[in-house]
Structure 1
Amino acid sequence: MSIIRPGTRSRIEEILRDYPNLDKYISERYKELRHPYRESDENIGGGKSSKISKPQEQMIITIEADKRLTMLEREKKAIDKCLIMASDDTKTIISELYFRKHPYYKIDGLILNGMVHCSRAQAFRLKHEFLSNLASELGLFDPY
């Protein structure tokens, strides 16, 4: 099992906490790109523009080239893939610890209340394995 640096772990946990809102962020970004703010042009006459004259093509190019949108979609796809591959206990651990706005339980509480059916050590291994898989999917590799 690989070791994850604390900074990388924090970044992965931050991405997981944002997961419930990713669809909203993606939708908002699409809206921002489709309906950009346009300053009024008071220049009468003027020269030739270097922009593509077809607005639909320009919008498609803008959406395809947007780094923020690409990153949000990549994060969502990576988390979805890791969740599909995860066991039920892992899904319960991850959803309780990261997807809830105010988590009610920690790992010990999940075990004591019978929400996960494994030992404490196994629960921590499942959590670490999920974080490692997500780091791998996102390309957040540690050098050791």
Structure 2
Amino acid sequence: MKKANFKFVEHILKEYPNTQKYIKETENEILHPVSTDVDENVGGGRSNKKDEHVEQMAITIADNERINAIKRNHDVIKDVYNRSDLETQMIIYGLYFNGQLTLQGVANQTHLSTRQCSRKRTDFFNKVADQLGLY
């Protein structure tokens, strides 16, 4: 695996616990954009134009590339993680989801050598990269 792809998968794993928050923030940015336009039509009449604001926002959220990419990455990580053996799950959780352990710390926790932990992590990364099409 290329070093850039390894770093990309590593970044996705570190951000995985916060993906739902990122999705909500992005949806809120779309639903409530910061507008600097000032309505100068004071006391104007009603418009005969149909308001399609809600429909347009739903389409915008559904088509947003950033949201779709975050959701796709989240789903791939979740799928590969759930299919992995318990030791691999402990390694990934300790290194990335919890983020407080080193490879040596995870090895001590799982009663494996650091080399075995490294191999399991690399296998996990390869499966994620394969599902994301990163090769």
Q: Normalising TM by the smaller chain, what interval?
A: 0.7 to 0.9
Shift of 1:16: 0.8
RMSD between superposed Cα atoms in Å: 2.1
Shift of 1:107: 2.6
Residue matched to 1:36: 33
Residues of 2 paired with 1:57 and 1:111: CA distance? 52
Residues of 1 paired with 2:107 and 2:57: CA distance? 50
One-letter code of the match for 1:12?
V
Residues of 1 paired with 2:33 and 2:39: CA distance? 18
Residue matched to 2:79: 81
Mapping for residues 82-121 of structure 1, pairs under 5 Å: 82-101=80-99, 103=100, 105-112=101-108, 115-121=109-115
Aligned length: 128
Q: Which 5+ residue runs of structure 1 have no aligned equivalent? A: 46-51
Residues of 1 paired with 2:75 and 2:94: CA distance? 20
Classify the secondary structure of the residue corresponding to 1:26: helix
1:140 equivalent in alignment to 2:112: no
Classify the secondary structure of the residue corresponding to 2:73: helix
One-letter code of the match for 2:25?
E
Classify the secondary structure of the residue corresponding to 1:36: coil
Q: Is the 8 A contact 2:6 2:125 kept in 1?
A: yes
Flag the structure with higher helix content.
2
**TM-score, length-scaled by structure 1:** 0.78
Residues of 1 paired with 2:36 and 2:114: CA distance? 58
Residues of 2 paired with 1:108 and 1:25: CA distance? 31
Q: Which 5+ residue runs of structure 2 have no aligned equivalent? A: 45-49
Classify the secondary structure of the residue corresponding to 1:29: helix
**TM-score, length-scaled by structure 2:** 0.83
Residues of 1 paired with 2:105 and 2:37: CA distance? 58
Classify the secondary structure of the residue corresponding to 1:30: helix
One-letter code of the match for 2:36?
E
Q: Is the 8 A contact 2:95 2:106 kept in 1?
A: no
Mapping for residues 9-24 of structure 1, pairs under 5 Å: 9-24=6-21
Classify the secondary structure of the residue corresponding to 1:59: helix
Residues of 2 paired with 1:39 and 1:96: CA distance? 45
Residue matched to 2:119: 125
Shift of 1:40: 2.2
